[in-house]
Structures are given as structure tokens and as C-alpha cells.
Amino acid sequence: MRYETIKSVVLLLLVVASAALTWSLWTYQPQLESSDKKNVHEVSISNQEEPDGLIKPNRVLFHLDNVHYGTVKDKDIDPLINEIRGWNFYDISQAKVLSDARIHDISHTNNNVEIYFPDLVPFELYKGVLHVETNNVPNAAFNRIVINLASDSQDGATIYFVNTKENRVFESHVNPERISALITKINDDKKKYEKYGEYTLPSNQTIFLPENKTKLDEYKYYADYIDPEKFKNALFKDPSAVRRDILANGEKFTDISSMMNVDYNTNMIFYINPGQDPGTLNLQESDKHVLNRSIDFVNEHSGWTDKYRYFSLGSYQQTTVFQLFIQGRPVFNEDGMTEIRQVWGAEEIYKYRRPYFSLDISIPLTDKKSIELPSGEEVLNYLKESSDIQEDIDLLEDIMIGYKLAIDPENPKVFVLEPSWFYLYGGSWLRLTIDDTGGDFLGLE
């Protein structure tokens, strides 16, 4: 009888222990440290940048004495932005939706200065430059600042922040003495600026282009290459669990959720996190967030390897592009070798494409040559008459001078930057070459 009792007690204890163990397994939660940096480790590849070092104007126009002047040079634009840093903006009004004609009058009339940005800039993210005395900074964005040099009212001199994509205009005011000092500076520097002509695109959009031919140097630079392993260590959650495979012209790194391809031909990496479906972008509500986290993402691994600038923001997907700039002009390449492109999911990076080299601009090669480019009017007339874009000529949005980057055929470690005209057509920047036989068009993707 005693034996049966002991056996029953032992069996009961085993059942209770089994139940307790099962419960502990079901309810166990590991103590993990939380972190906002979900997929970037402490890896320092190159440099970090502040937002106002990446968000910069790409041209400035001065409408003075019924003549249009302009500049794209950093040495001209940087002092102007530094001047604006010292201003106190009294207020920023609520947005007014205006007609194209009214925005034209505000922007392009005499005694105005126009500061152009490549794409929409959130007020909140540009507050390192704009010192606004009120706390009511709009949850909105602009791509142009217009300074009215002639205004002087009780409210102060008038400044407009213009969103040309949505025809929205925000009005602000500064001390008139600030404008008087700016006028003096502009008049002193006026001879340094190029003369620009005012032209109308087939879409009825106004554009300003250099009146004269432009002569620019071709540049050649050696490349400094970055070990792709550094990007692997930065981008994967557990670098030790990443598998590396050698491909015909590159490498492939994979773990259970992500992949990074390395292309030896273009010297680029392409990282994708398929679990992060790309979201849609509401510019008015989300551009600050997307642009800000794009800057933070690259800063987390000190990934600014060259003079990159904010260049575009996706209209629908959460996409940002930072473009390489040299001598104040953008550098383009048909394979994307001059841009850092990010596509964001709801929580983390979805796609990340960028070069893993930098240009050694401290040692330019000496055998450079000068190239003379046609005037802006010649280029616009050529495009208007081109059969390549005649069918959808209204898709022509902008024209500018930049550089084409290519690998030197005589030395694969050298990059050549050739001055060229580029035009924005249907959302893509394309290169235009004009030769003795009438010219041809080279597309960039």
C-alpha cells in the first residue's frame, strides 16, 4: 500500500513539473536590448553630415534692373545662405494656393532673388538655416525661396517660400535692414554672375538658362575603393551569420532575411530587405520624416564618401536620392554610380543602392581639357526640334549643365568627368550631346 502511495506521489510531481516546464517555454521572452538602429551597426566608413550640409540650393537667380543674372557656384551661393542664417523670420503664414501666373509674378519680376532647391525641403528639417521667431512652423515643404528686394512695409521685408509642385506659397518677413545689406552685397558681386535668359518650355513653364556659351574643364580623378565588407557589417543585423558567395563579376552576401550584391563592373552595392514592403509617400505629411531618416541612416555608418547632396524625393514611394556634386554641378552616370538611393519600408530600409568608391579630388590629374558647351537657348531650341521627344514634348521639365562620369578606358582606376548639358524628361535626367552632324541623345536611367 505504501509503495502504491509513493508511486502516485512521484507520478503527480512529474506531471506538475512537466506542466511547469511547458508553461515556462510558452511564456518565455528573452531580454533583448531595444534600439532605434534596427539594422545598422557601429561601423564608420567615411563621414557624417548635418542636414544643412546635404540640403543645398543648386542655383540662384537675381532679377536686377530688368536683367537676369544667375550662378550655380558654391563660392557665390554659400555666402548668400550664410547671410540668411543671420536673419530672424518674424512669421510664416499659412499656405496660399495661387495660380501659375501669380507665382510667376512673385518669383520672376524685377528686384527679386530666387533660391532654387532640387526638390521639396521640409521647413522643420531646414530650421538649422531658418531662424523663425514663432513656434508655428508649417508642417509643409518648399523648393524655392524668393526674396523681394523692393518690399518695405510695416510688417518688414517680404520673403516667399514657394512649393511649385502644388502652387502653394508661404509668406514671411524680416527686418528691412537685412535686405538693404543684401542689396549692397549683390550689387558689389553682380559682375561675377552670368547673364541668364528667360525662356518658356512647351509645357508653358518658365525656365532661365545661361545666355552665353559655357566653357568648363574636364576632370580626372583617381578612385579610392572601400571594402564591401564594411557595408556588410553595417547593414546586416548579425554580420557573423551572413553567407558570402563569389559571382562572375562580384559578390553576394545573404542572411535569412536580406541580401547585398556587390558589382565589380560598376563598383556599386545593392542591398535589399524583402520583408519591408515599400510604403506610399504623402509629401505634405511625410517628406520631413523620410528625408530625415534617410540622412540619419547614412550617418549611422558614416557613409557620406563624397560631396553628395539631396537631389530628389519620390512622389509616391518613400524614395530619396542624394547626388554627387562637383564644382557646384551634379554628376550623372547611366548606371547610377553617382547617387545614393534609398527606398524605405514602413519600419526599416527596403532598398539601398550606392557606390563603394570615392573620388580623390585632392589630387586631380593634370591632363584635363576645356570643353565649350552651347548656350541655353541653343540647347532648348535643339530639344524642341528633336524628333526623339516631339511626341511628348510636354514632359520636358528642366535643363542644366552637369558632368558625365565614366571610367577612363586607358586606366580603370581613373574616373573622367565630362561637362555636358542634361535635361529632365519624364522624371529622368538625360544627357544631350550635340555633334557636327546634328547630335544624338544619350539616356540615363
- Whether 397 shows a pLDDT value over 50: the answer reads yes
Across 413-419, average pLDDT: 93
**Cβ–Cβ contacts within 10 Å for residue 4, how many?**
8
Across 348-370, average pLDDT: 87
Cα–Cα distance measured from residue 161 to residue 84, given in angstroms and rounded to the nearest whole number:
13
Cα–Cα distance measured from residue 182 to residue 89, given in angstroms and rounded to the nearest whole number:
15
> What fold is seen in the domain 220-359?
TATA-Binding Protein (3.30.310)
Judge whether 423 and 442 are in contact, CB under 8 Å: no
β-partners of residue 195 are: 69
Q: Which of 90-104, 240-254, 421-435 has the lowest mean pLDDT?
A: 421-435
Distances, alpha carbon 40 to alpha carbons 125, 348, 353, in Å: 22, 10, 15
Alpha helices in 28-161 (DSSP H): 51-54, 74-85, 100-108
Judge whether 271 and 239 are in contact, CB under 8 Å: no
Across 392-412, average pLDDT: 94
Cα–Cα distance measured from residue 426 to residue 445, given in angstroms and rounded to the nearest whole number:
11
Q: Which of 8-17, 280-289, 349-358 has the highest average model confidence (pLDDT)? A: 349-358
Q: Which of 73-87, 216-230, 277-291 has the lowest mean pLDDT?
A: 277-291
β-partners of residue 282 are: none
pLDDT given at position 159: 96
Cα–Cα distance measured from residue 354 to residue 17, given in angstroms and rounded to the nearest whole number:
56
C-alpha cell recorded at residue 299: 550617418
Cα–Cα distance measured from residue 257 to residue 38, given in angstroms and rounded to the nearest whole number:
13
- Please provide residue 233's backbone torsions phi and psi, each rounded to the nearest 5 degrees: -65, -30
| pLDDT bracket for residue 152 (50, 70, 90) | low
Judge whether 252 and 259 are in contact, CB under 8 Å: yes
Q: Which of 14-18, 86-90, 257-261, 437-441 has the lowest mean pLDDT?
A: 437-441
pLDDT given at position 50: 95
Cα–Cα distance measured from residue 59 to residue 329, given in angstroms and rounded to the nearest whole number:
9
3-state SS assignment for residue 75: helix
Residues 6+ apart with CB under 8 A from 339: 308, 311, 321, 322, 323, 324, 333, 353, 354
- Whether 5 shows a pLDDT value over 60: the answer reads no
Give the type of residue at 12. L
pLDDT digits (tens, 9 = 90+) for 370-394: 999 999 999 999 999 887 887 889 9
Taking each continuous run of H as one helix and of E as one strand, the counts in the chain are 8, 28
Judge whether 401 and 422 are in contact, CB under 8 Å: yes
Cα–Cα distance measured from residue 413 to residue 415, given in angstroms and rounded to the nearest whole number:
7
Across 148-156, average pLDDT: 77
| pLDDT bracket for residue 254 (50, 70, 90) | very high
Alpha helices in 278-318 (DSSP H): 283-300
CA distance between the termini of the chain: 88
pLDDT digits (tens, 9 = 90+) for 102-113: 999 999 999 999
Across 189-201, average pLDDT: 94
Q: Which of 176-190, 196-210, 270-284, 335-349 has the lowest mean pLDDT?
A: 270-284
DSSP state of 378: H
Report the DSSP pairing between strands 243-247 and 319-326: unpaired
pLDDT given at position 24: 39
3-state SS assignment for residue 359: strand
Q: Which of 8-17, 174-183, 371-380, 411-420 has the lowest mean pLDDT?
A: 8-17
Spans of all domains in the chain: 51-200, 220-359, 363-442
- Rounded-to-5 percentages of helix, strand, coil across the chain: 25, 40, 35
Cα–Cα distance measured from residue 158 to residue 148, given in angstroms and rounded to the nearest whole number:
6
- Whether 200 shows a pLDDT value over 90: the answer reads yes
Across 116-130, average pLDDT: 93
Cα–Cα distance measured from residue 264 to residue 157, given in angstroms and rounded to the nearest whole number:
55
Judge whether 143 and 163 are in contact, CB under 8 Å: yes
pLDDT digits (tens, 9 = 90+) for 302-329: 999 999 999 999 867 789 999 999 989 9
Report the interhelical angle of 74-85 vs 176-189 (nearest 10°).
170
C-alpha angle with apex 380: 310 to 142, nearest 5 degrees?
30
- Please provide residue 192's backbone torsions phi and psi, each rounded to the nearest 5 degrees: -80, -20
- Whether 338 shows a pLDDT value over 70: the answer reads yes
The fraction of the chain above a pLDDT of 90, given in percent, is: 69
**Mean residue pLDDT across the chain:** 86
Q: Which of 182-196, 271-285, 308-322, 341-355 has the lowest mean pLDDT?
A: 271-285
Across 30-39, average pLDDT: 40
β-partners of residue 402 are: 420
- Whether 228 shows a pLDDT value over 80: the answer reads yes
Across 55-65, average pLDDT: 96
Alpha helices in 190-282 (DSSP H): 228-235
- Whether 204 shows a pLDDT value over 70: the answer reads yes
pLDDT given at position 28: 33
Judge whether 359 and 325 are in contact, CB under 8 Å: no
pLDDT given at position 8: 58
pLDDT given at position 22: 38
